[in-house]
Amino acid sequence: MSEQIQQELDVDRFTLGLVGPDQEWAGTVADGGTVRTHTPPACWGPMITPEFRGGHEVTRPIRVENAEPGDALVVHIKDVEVTSVATSTGSMAEREDAFGSDPFVDHRCPECGTEWPDSVVEGTGEDAIRCAECRANASSFGFEFGYTVAFDEDRSVGLTVGPDGAADLAERADEAMALPDNSRQHPILLYKPDEIPGMLGHLRPFIGNIGTTPSVEFPDSHNAGDFGQFLIGADHDWGLSDESALDARTDGHLDSNDVRPGATLICPVEIDGAGLYVGDLHANQGDGELSLHTTDVSGRTELEVSVIKDLDIDGPLLLPNESDLPDIAKPYTDAEREAGEALAAEHHVDDVIDAAPLQIIGSGATINDATENAFARAGTLFGMSEGEVRARCTFTGGVEIARLPGVVQLSMLAPMDLLEERGLAATVREQYDL
């Protein structure tokens, strides 16, 4: 690890699907500094590459000056740029003879039995990924329903293509997906799926996996309460004994389409230096990521990072762009404040509570479990009962689905005095220009 603290840090090296305290550091950035990354696609590429121990290919962890366990890391998302010109995606089908208890984690060659075998590409199509030892099809996944999308030059829209277009992109898959030099995945364009041609879609890129390093090692795709369920009782090196062992997660795998330029993410710090990591950029995604996968792309990010000391949170907080907030969770206008003061005078209310938007991330086995997790995290953060959290979120917020089966964003207008007390007020005021 380099001990040199850099005001601006460029990161272009990645893990093989794992996040945890034993990963090699990417470097050290100053508190208040800027991180730039160029990351390969996640999900499909690592999923079909049997060397990977997790479903993503994220950056090596980034040490942040002054960050210690019990602090929080503030990540301002300044820019997300898609560099791929196309991708393939869809819903998955598992090849059960190519893995043990988890198709994302414990890969093995279905013929020679080699665990996490090195692999080579022979041709295109769903049998192109071959074990380097015996040349058997070694990929754990195929498509149950798949399609290929080509992007316009401005990355503003994407169009699904037919067999000829998909085959052409498969022949130049590495180039079309703009895989960074140090990426170790096979590009999913090789599979050349071609269903639903001619569908035009809006693009709005965001970061699917971004967070801080947990205190124990997880497959990067399983650093969340829903995908993490696959680790409980699993017969591989990252298996967990029970649900409580999953509490070590930091919920970096969010797949919230609101984690885009202009948003601010606040992450728990569990190890010295925080260990920020980034990956899994998506060109677009509908709420819930209903196919479990979306338009995975290579891309560049620019992030500004800073540390809040002694903000002991057990999961991420999100300050989305104001336009992405539910209407009733947006900051008050001057006219609304004036109307509130008039109501207070009429109905003998001493004070109108000053409040500002905040989203608490929750994750769990199901959407209901994730929502309960968000209630608990909000209650701990603000010293509220679950009943008070539910009441405030019903009246001034709501719950949104980031990903099925179990990641949610719980919005509320949080009392400003509590934000001050917890050390969050300055960050919230900066985000919403209050």
Does the reported pTM lie above 0.85? yes
pLDDT in tens, 241-285: 999 999 999 999 999 999 999 999 999 999 999 999 999 999 999
Q: Where are the beta strands (DSSP E) in 182-234?
A: 200-202, 206-211, 218-219
Residue 386, C-beta contacts closer than 8 angstroms, at least 6 positions apart:
375, 376, 379
Does pLDDT of 336 surpass 50?
yes
2: pLDDT strictly greater than 60 = no
Q: Summarize pLDDT for 372-395 with one digit per residue, the tens.
A: 999 999 999 999 999 999 999 999
Q: Is the pLDDT of residue 223 over 70?
A: yes
Contact 232, 243 (CB under 8 A): yes
- Helix (H) / strand (E) containing 358: strand 355-363
The whole-number pLDDT of residue 1 equals: 43
In angstroms, the CA 232 to CA 387 distance is 30
Within 8 A by CB and 6+ apart from 403, the residues are 226, 254, 255, 256, 288, 289
96: confidence class by pLDDT, cuts 50, 70, 90: confident
Residue 94, pLDDT above cutoff 90: yes
Strands (E), 67-182: 72-82, 86-94, 119-121, 129-131, 141-151, 157-160
